[in-house]
Amino acid sequence: MEGIDLVLTPALSENPAPLDSLTYAACGSDLDRWVERGYRFAPFAVPANLAGQPSAVLPISLTDTGLPVAVQITDRPDGDALVLRVSNALEDAIGWAGLGLI
């Protein structure tokens, strides 16, 4: 992260999946399959979590079917304040009401 202020990535690597398909039970109680499936859908969250990097996920748009599309904002381990300031600015600029989520 040297020389980089923030990393912006999609929150998910593909369109949101139906909620019931991501449950532990939907994966046949197979923990390895459940973890693999979660990693496939949210590959950018795992490295940030393992590295102890603060991140925030905010909806920024909607799919054609009305499901939220989100961005993940990540900074270096001591960058909590910047992540929160940028998240706040993004939320003010887009607004939950503008997405039709409230």
Query: Residue 35's pLDDT is what?
Result: 63
Please give the pLDDT value at position 12: 80
Show me where the domains of the chain are located.
Answer: 7-99
d(Cα 102, Cα 94) in Å, to the nearest integer?
13
Going across the sheet that includes 55-62, the strands are: 7-10, 68-74, 55-62
Query: Tens digits of per-residue pLDDT, 48-82?
Result: 888 889 999 998 888 887 778 889 999 999 999 99
pLDDT band, very low/low/confident/very high, at 24 (cuts 50, 70, 90): low
Q: 């950018």: which residue's tokens?
A: 44
Separation of alpha carbons 6 and 9, rounded Å: 10
- Residue 101 backbone phi and psi in degrees, to 5: -90, -15
